[in-house]
């Protein structure tokens, strides 16, 4: 398995400053927060997951999140909005924001999927964060071509994974470790939600389910 380049060995890969290099050369950026989120912020996400109805659609067990997830992903990450803006070329306040999702990886995914439902048109962007503990997401940079490499960075809650929608990802089992996803796009997802390349937890709608 190929390991993600270590910033200490690659001076050009600046954790807070050179997301352009990271996006172009890796297909994602490992964003380093200014420390771990406060315990009350972490606990708010865990309590939401415990409280909300959960749905199992391989490869995840997930529920809809809310403001607690937005607070969690923004916490001690002052430049994350700028990273999203620069990648999509749209002011953050004008982007379409998908409702956050809290999930655990449970396996069952047969292959990789796109990092965002709007990835085919390079219109989407995803942010992933580990709530507590550590977990990995497999990334296959390739931008809709045949992925040439595989990276499996192990993340904790001092980091975020910022991924343009056209990068491929694979969700692996995370045990009891929770993760949060928040998606952004220039336009509404609409029919793109039906794409076979979409991860179910990114487009699920609990209305009408038993």
CATH number at residue 43: 2.60.120.620
Q: Is pLDDT at 127 greater than 50 in this prediction?
A: yes
Nearest in space to 133 (alpha carbons), one of 68, 177, 180, 179: 177
Under 8 Å CB-to-CB from 62, ≥6 apart: which residues? 54, 55, 101, 102, 103, 104, 201, 204
Any domain includes 168: yes
β-partners of residue 146 are none
In a domain, 210, yes or no: no
In a domain, 83, yes or no: yes
Range of the domain at 102: 27-189
Is position 151 within any domain? yes
pLDDT digits (tens, 9 = 90+) for 136-170: 998 887 555 555 567 888 999 999 999 988 888 88
The string of pLDDT tens digits covering residues 27-84 is 688 899 999 999 999 999 999 999 999 999 889 999 999 999 999 999 999 999 998 9
**Run of H or E including 85:** helix 80-88
- Supply the pTM of this predicted model: 0.84
Closest CA to 59 of 107, 127, 8: 107
Is residue 173 in a domain?
yes
What whole-number distance in Å separates Cα of residue 143 and Cα of residue 166? 5
* Count of structural domains within the chain: 1
CA distance 108 to 146: 22
Phi, psi of 93, deg, nearest 5 = -65, -15
The CA distances from residue 140 to 26, 106, 170, 195, 204, in Å, are 9, 19, 8, 18, 23
Query: In 3-state terms, what secondary structure has residue 57?
Result: strand
Q: Is residue 8 one of the residues assigned to a domain?
A: no
CA angle 6, 9, 15 (to 5 degrees): 55
Residue 17 lies in a domain: no
- Residue 21 located in a structural domain: no
């Amino acid at each position: 398995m190929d390991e993600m380049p270590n910033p200490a060995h690659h001076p050009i890969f600046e954790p807070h400053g050179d997301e352009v290099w990271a996006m172009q050369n890796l297909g994602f950026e490992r964003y380093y927060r200014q420390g771990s989120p406060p315990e009350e912020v972490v606990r708010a996400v865990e309590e939401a997951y415990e409280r909300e109805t959960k749905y199992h659609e391989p490869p995840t067990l997930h529920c809809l999140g809310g403001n607690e997830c937005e607070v969690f992903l923004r916490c001690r990450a002052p430049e994350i909005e700028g990273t999203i803006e620069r990648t999509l070329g749209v002011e953050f306040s004008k982007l379409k924001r998908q409702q956050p999702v809290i999930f655990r990886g449970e396996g069952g995914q047969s292959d990789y999927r796109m990092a965002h439902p709007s990835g085919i048109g390079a219109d989407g962007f995803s942010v992933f964060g580990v709530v507590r503990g550590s977990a990995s997401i497999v990334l296959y940079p390739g931008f809709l071509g045949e992925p040439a490499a595989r990276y499996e960075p192990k993340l904790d809650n001092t980091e975020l994974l910022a991924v343009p929608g056209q990068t491929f990802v694979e969700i692996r089992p995370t045990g009891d470790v929770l993760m949060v996803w928040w998606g952004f796009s220039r336009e509404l997802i609409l029919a793109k939600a039906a794409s076979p390349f979409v991860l179910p937890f990114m487009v699920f709608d609990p209305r009408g389910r038993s």
